[in-house]
Structure 1
Amino acid sequence: MSSITAPAPASAASAALPGGGTATPASTMAGGDFETFLKMLTTQIRNQDPLNPMEGSDFAVQLATFSGVEQQVRTNQLLEQVAIGQMGGLGALAGWIGKEVRTTAPVSFDGEPLTLDIRPASGADRVELVVMDARGREALREDIGPGTGEIDWAGRTEDGPLADGLYSFKLVSYRGEEVLSTQAVGAYARVTGAEVTADGIRLSLPGGASALEREVTALREA
């Protein structure tokens, strides 16, 4: 099998091709385009020994190698852009630590009242607040007034306060017996930290609770 000669001398950083020749470094190869690579192959064909030509499998290996390297470099570039974007958002969220956010994600209840943002459907004459525990099971259902605004929820039942833990809330609005809407209720909790995760920026909240940035609908001073 004859060696493959690149159109320009290969540097010390060049990688050996399966056919015995050399290829440009991955960063240089991926930095160009596929048309440039095809021109290189054409040059190799013109300079090969006609009595000992390259086999078709060698072309296939080179094409596959180039395609794989190009795809890997593009993937790395994309991941780098995503990381930079996330870190930029994380830096902006540093100012959120110590403040309160309103979120529909589960929040921690430890016996102290939680502030809930109540927004019943227009025209509702009866409103129920439904409380779910960390497993999504209904823990409490109570009638509240049809008014709109913030309320302090004490988490009390006929048998006393609910156990400490994570809870989420939803509001069911009625007109007579007709259900007008069922919607998540936002609760306020203090931000204690933030981290970048595979799902996006996640805010740490008291009691082991957390919320993704996209689950936050309001921010205020604690």
Structure 2
Amino acid sequence: MSTISPVTTTAATSTAQAGTSDQGALLSSDFQVFLKMLTTQARNQDPLNPMDSSDYAQQLATFSGVEQQVRTNTLLESLAAQLGGGGLTQYAPWVGMEARVTAPVSFDGAPLTLYLSPVSGADRADLVTLDSAGNEVARYTAPVGTGSIVWAGTDATGQSLPSGTYSFRLEGYSGDTLIGATAVESYARINEVRSDQAGTVFTLDSGAEVTVNDIGALRAAG
């Protein structure tokens, strides 16, 4: 392991449910309208020239089909809700663990391990540190290749940064020209898991929220 002040480097290494609900409400409305039309037709038909029995049977079959569709949609909504609850049960053990994400992370003075993804074609890289407001507070030369960095939490003068929420990006340069930037991953503690319209959402100790697709790895806290 080599040292590059002030960081140490390691070598390279649910919208569907809402749609179902709207459809069910529409079918339920159509069902009520159809029922009113059918009863009004039966009540006001000419007794001397009653409705043909085959037509009446066909309308009753249609009535039954609409009723069954409403019940099916209600059942699907109930099933979707049960599956959503099952997702919470599945992810509940993740609370208290640490997730590897590119979201902002909480810094309390202890060094953080950052995981870098290189910018293709870059011959130089800078690690940029941003505070909770998105302001740049530090910039250091970083390895060009993939690897991990132990971030000491200091600014460009070597002074310790205050505790708070920070995020990072890796800028790649060709000569003096910026050619791209990549997100930087770090581990953050999962404080809460919940289910909403976006699916299963995890709240981190920094206050950031991520989905399961945003989590690159998981480990025990410590």
C-alpha displacement of 1:132: 1.4
Residue 39 of structure 1: CA displacement?
A: 6.9
The answer to whether the 8 A contact 1:203-1:212 is kept is yes
* Change in 2 beyond 3 A, CA 1:115/1:74: farther
Aligned-pair identity (%)? 36
Change (3 A) 1:112 1:79: farther
CA 1:118–1:88 in 2, change beyond 3 Å: closer, same or farther?
A: same
Tell me the residue number matched to 2:170.
Answer: 171
TM-score (norm 2): 0.64
Identify if the C-alpha distance between structure 1 residues 40 and 99 changes in structure 2 by more than 3 Å, giving closer, same or farther: same
1:213 matched to which residue of 2? 212
CA distance in 1, matches of 2:182, 2:171: 7
**CA separation of 1:76 and 1:39: change in aligned 2, threshold 3 A:** closer
Query: 1:208 offset after TM fit, Å?
Result: 4.3
Larger relative contact order (CA 8 Å, sep ≥ 6) = 2
Which amino acid is the alignment partner of residue 117 of structure 2? Answer: R
Are positions 1:109 and 2:107 aligned together? yes
| Cα distance change on mapping 1:83 and 1:178 into 2, 3 Å | farther
Contact kept in structure 1, 2:104 and 2:206, CA below 8 Å: no
Distance in 2 separating the partners of 1:127 and 1:30: 57
CA contact (8 A) 2:125 2:170 kept: yes
Structure 2 distance, partners of 1:171, 1:124, is: 11
- Counterpart of 1:202, as a letter, is V
Aligned to 1:132: 130
CA-to-aligned-CA distance 1:69-92 (integer Å, 9 cap, x gap): xxx999977765554343222211
Given that residues 155 and 161 in structure 1 are in contact (C-alpha distance below 8 angstroms), is that contact kept between their aligned partners in structure 2? yes
Which of 45, 57, 74 pairs up with 2:41? 45
1:106 touches 1:210 (CA, 8 Å); kept in 2?
no
Distance in 1 of aligned mates of 2:91 and 2:99: 12
Alpha-carbon distance in structure 2 between the residues aligned to 1:198 and 1:43: 40
SS, match of residue 160 in structure 1:
coil
Give, in angstroms, the shift of residue 30 of structure 1. Answer: 8.1
Q: Any stretches of 5+ residues in structure 1 without a counterpart?
A: 1-28, 51-71
State the distance in 2 between where 1:166 and 1:73 align.
Answer: 49
Q: Which amino acid aligns with 1:162?
A: L
C-alpha contact 1:30 1:73 (8 A) present in aligned 2: no
> Equivalent residue of 2:87, what SS?
helix
Q: 1:156 to 1:78 in 2, by over 3 A?
A: farther
Cα distance between partner residues in 2 of 1:113 and 1:76: 52
Distance 2:85 2:152 in 1: 37
Deviation at 1:148, TM superposition (A): 1.3
Cα deviation, residue 213, structure 1: 3.1
- Quickly say closer, same or farther: Cα 1:85–1:135, change in 2 above 3 A: farther
Q: Which residue of 2 aligns with 1:118?
A: 116
Please report how far the alpha carbon of residue 164 of structure 1 lies from its aligned counterpart in structure 2 after TM superposition: 0.7
Instruction: Give 1:37 deviation, angstroms.
Output: 5.7
